[in-house]
Chains A and B, each alone.
Chain A
């Protein structure tokens, strides 16, 4: 093998005292060759982003480098004076960030922001820079490069902004591109395009790419080699095929086993009377008025679906498709503009808040964000007991029931008296589930309940949900943007786009023969589909 482009040897980065471990990164070594994509995979807190920051010289002061070296083009990046590091940053080493929404300066035209990079490295004059920028904006697949160069970031979508970020990173033809979760904030169809773009540009320019991600689907799409990180250490390093198909380290094996399978096994058709009927529900948002022009945005347009008792229906779509709005209409967190929502034959929309109260307990919800969905000032026991107390149970009895439920969702007794911040994301999601179950609901609405969780925790929470659903005979409306998860747990799936339900069908049939073009597009965009075919059939 030729001399690597970048060689990281025995790098250790300390964490501030009082953390749960002493080092953010410990004894990390890897090489990156020109024209290669190395994926660093790990769960949150594994130190993967710290590795990226170390290479870019962007470590914050509380995280000092303890030992090791990063050799690049004949010098150790860690030993360089700041000014020398600056001349390399942007010119030889470039970076793309996770959040395209905040990584661009909102009050500066896009072309001007790219030009700043050229200016900082003293490249060309005004006219030649302009030509280069426009050529590059075209190269990252944005339409009308001249117009895009003169627009402000707020006019661009998330995917378009990420393309601008990529153009900015590549403008100096860097030898190395560090991409820190560049597609995590994007929708799945946009993600597929961006991954494709990075791969193409990297091939053309022979750039070495260090790609940080938590998603094995993305790894399967893009990686040449993979480094798996756990607790700040690289536990396994190998080629993509070796890591994905023949993982050797137990942690890697566990992670890969936790990635939901795309295979939708046939499920028996559930033939039961309907529990929930959503009939022609629309939700319009009006803004403006007095001082500004009125605007109407349709979040949901004439959506209809029926949930049979005991069924799990998946509501799938990209961000802004109206799936959460529709779910919130069912629990009346959002009032639909028109339509009917019948629960067990009763139209909920006509009910006053007090008439609604007895029905509330039968419809409960698990929320997306495990950190925002629990009141930080209350003890976990109180949080779970709150529902029954509200509905008239004596508080001692409710607390006893809370303790029971917490053990049902797999938390131990001491949880009752602790505060939410003492728990991890997965544990908090279990608390959220216990809170919903405390009212003995018939219908459970789960709004992206695992999308904020790491993949191994995700698997556990999904398993728990499926288990509890079966044990208590619940009906479930499951909202997700992740088709892999939907394939795994839903009996039927409704696909939403721009507020409309475009397709509704049994899970296996929908994956085998999607009828709507958008469904086909969504399924094609799932990262790692090629890998899926070769994936060893382990325990499901």
Chain B
């Protein structure tokens, strides 16, 4: 990101707020083993302790697990799934989209039909299917989320490559004698990065939500603590111990919101003209 885009990003209050919230969530994830040592699944106090009791800021659940500790440990899983599955989806999506857009013709047709095949299945149902076929684990969740989230990347990258490929600076590179690799990585990809970066920030948010939804339905990794699992296990006792669902819910909400704010801020910062044209000033 160039200096001026970074400045425009910092001018956007929502985006900076998002960045701050995300930084808090990340540091919480990083420091979870320090502040909340031991297994978050273990009993830490009397069951159903309400919030603000000494030692249990957010209270404890039906089995006496500390809610604050589960949120901190859950942040690790959420961020991990969000980041890794997005990276994997980008790898698949960018590669396929770039090939389709650059090569064109029959190969483009084949790749796009393949992409549409994935898009024709509701993504959550597909994710459920994949996780239930494999054993529910962090690995299978990451695979499932990546598989359902790459098609939009492929479509966007293909569109960018299609339009950039015919630009004169790309033709100039061909005339200079550059080979396909140099043209794709040196000329086209850097110009297609802005929409990819923006899309990636939204994809992380979606991936975190997907993981939470899977865990909510009991398809989470049984060995790691996750926000979705907390919300799911607390829902039956919500009238007795509301805090067991509400606090993980707030953590999820804030994380996803912050990623969306960052995504929007990036989008405005990287495409300043779009924003002016939209007349949102």
Q: Which residues of A contact B (CB under 8 A)?
A: 61, 328, 331, 333, 353, 356-357, 360-361, 363-365, 367-369, 372-378, 386-387, 390-391, 432, 435, 439
- Is the CB of B134 closer than 8 A to any CB of chain A? no
Known contacts A367-B172, A435-B172; A375/B191 CB under 8 A: yes
Question: A534 to nearest B CB, angstroms?
Answer: 39
* Chain B residues with CB below 8 A from A378, complex form: 190
- A-B pairs under 8 A by CB, number: 60
26 A–B pairs (Cβ distance < 8 Å), ordered by A: A328-B171, A331-B175, A333-B174, A333-B175, A353-B179, A357-B177, A364-B175, A365-B172, A367-B171, A367-B172, A368-B168, A372-B167, A372-B168, A372-B169, A373-B167, A373-B172, A374-B169, A374-B172, A375-B190, A376-B169, A377-B190, A390-B178, A391-B177, A432-B172, A435-B172, A435-B176
Question: A59 to nearest B CB, angstroms?
Answer: 14
- The answer to whether A367 and B176 touch across the interface, beta carbons within 8 angstroms, is no
- The answer to whether B168 and A360 touch across the interface, beta carbons within 8 angstroms, is no
Closest to A376 in B: B191
Complex partner residue of B176 from A353, A360, A372, A376, CB under 8 angstroms = A360
- The answer to whether A333 and B187 touch across the interface, beta carbons within 8 angstroms, is no
- The answer to whether A367 and B177 touch across the interface, beta carbons within 8 angstroms, is no
Main SS of chain A's interface residues?
A: loop
- The answer to whether A386 and B191 touch across the interface, beta carbons within 8 angstroms, is no
Closest to B178 in A: A390
Closest to A419 in B: B2
* Chain B residues with CB below 8 A from A331, complex form: 174-175
* Chain B residues with CB below 8 A from A376, complex form: 169, 191
- Is the CB of B27 closer than 8 A to any CB of chain A? no
- Is the CB of B182 closer than 8 A to any CB of chain A? yes
- The answer to whether B169 and A373 touch across the interface, beta carbons within 8 angstroms, is yes
Question: A447 to nearest B CB, angstroms?
Answer: 9
Residue interface mask B97-121, A partner, CB < 8 A = 1 = 0000000000000000000000000
User: What total of chain B residues lie within 8 Å of the partner, measured CB to CB?
Assistant: 17
- Is the CB of B257 closer than 8 A to any CB of chain A? no
Interchain residue pairs A-B with the least CB separation, the first 8: A373-B168, A360-B177, A387-B176, A367-B168, A377-B190, A375-B169, A372-B168, A357-B177
Closest to A359 in B: B177
> How many Å lie between the Cα of A360 and that of B167 in the bound state?
19
- The answer to whether A386 and B173 touch across the interface, beta carbons within 8 angstroms, is yes
> How many Å lie between the Cα of A391 and that of B175 in the bound state?
12
* Chain A residues with CB below 8 A from B279, complex form: 61
> How many Å lie between the Cα of A355 and that of B179 in the bound state?
12
Residue interface mask B188-200, A partner, CB < 8 A = 1 = 0011000000000
> How many Å lie between the Cα of A61 and that of B173 in the bound state?
41
Question: A360 to nearest B CB, angstroms?
Answer: 4
* Chain B residues with CB below 8 A from A333, complex form: 171, 174-175
- The answer to whether A390 and B177 touch across the interface, beta carbons within 8 angstroms, is yes
* Chain B residues with CB below 8 A from A377, complex form: 190-191
* Chain B residues with CB below 8 A from A387, complex form: 176-177
> How many Å lie between the Cα of A376 and that of B270 in the bound state?
13
* Chain A residues with CB below 8 A from B173, complex form: 375, 386
> How many Å lie between the Cα of A391 and that of B279 in the bound state?
47
Given A333-B175, A387-B176, 16 more contacts at CB 8 Å?
A331-B175, A333-B174, A363-B175, A364-B176, A365-B171, A367-B168, A369-B168, A373-B167, A373-B171, A373-B172, A375-B169, A376-B191, A378-B190, A387-B177, A432-B172, A439-B176
Question: B184 to nearest A CB, angstroms?
Answer: 13
Known contacts A372-B167, A374-B169, A377-B191; A365/B177 CB under 8 A: no
Closest to B276 in A: A62
* Chain A residues with CB below 8 A from B172, complex form: 365, 367, 373-374, 432, 435
> How many Å lie between the Cα of A456 and that of B175 in the bound state?
29
Known contacts A360-B177, A367-B168, A387-B177; A375/B187 CB under 8 A: yes
Question: A388 to nearest B CB, angstroms?
Answer: 9
* Chain A residues with CB below 8 A from B176, complex form: 360-361, 364, 386-387, 390, 435, 439
> How many Å lie between the Cα of A363 and that of B279 in the bound state?
46
Question: B109 to nearest A CB, angstroms?
Answer: 8
> How many Å lie between the Cα of A387 and that of B169 in the bound state?
12
> How many Å lie between the Cα of A485 and that of B175 in the bound state?
25
- The answer to whether A386 and B178 touch across the interface, beta carbons within 8 angstroms, is yes
> How many Å lie between the Cα of A2 and that of B107 in the bound state?
71
Residue interface mask B154-174, A partner, CB < 8 A = 1 = 000000000000011101111
Question: A147 to nearest B CB, angstroms?
Answer: 35
* Chain B residues with CB below 8 A from A375, complex form: 169, 173, 187, 190-191
Question: B113 to nearest A CB, angstroms?
Answer: 12
Question: B1 to nearest A CB, angstroms?
Answer: 11
> How many Å lie between the Cα of A92 and that of B114 in the bound state?
57
Closest to B281 in A: A62
> How many Å lie between the Cα of A363 and that of B171 in the bound state?
13
* Chain A residues with CB below 8 A from B178, complex form: 386, 390
> How many Å lie between the Cα of A374 and that of B168 in the bound state?
7
* Chain B residues with CB below 8 A from A357, complex form: 177
> How many Å lie between the Cα of A459 and that of B207 in the bound state?
57
Closest to A369 in B: B168
Known contacts A373-B169, A375-B187, A376-B191; A365/B182 CB under 8 A: no
* Chain B residues with CB below 8 A from A364, complex form: 175-176
* Chain A residues with CB below 8 A from B191, complex form: 375-377
> How many Å lie between the Cα of A363 and that of B172 in the bound state?
11
> How many Å lie between the Cα of A377 and that of B190 in the bound state?
7
Closest to A374 in B: B169
> How many Å lie between the Cα of A439 and that of B176 in the bound state?
8
> How many Å lie between the Cα of A360 and that of B190 in the bound state?
25
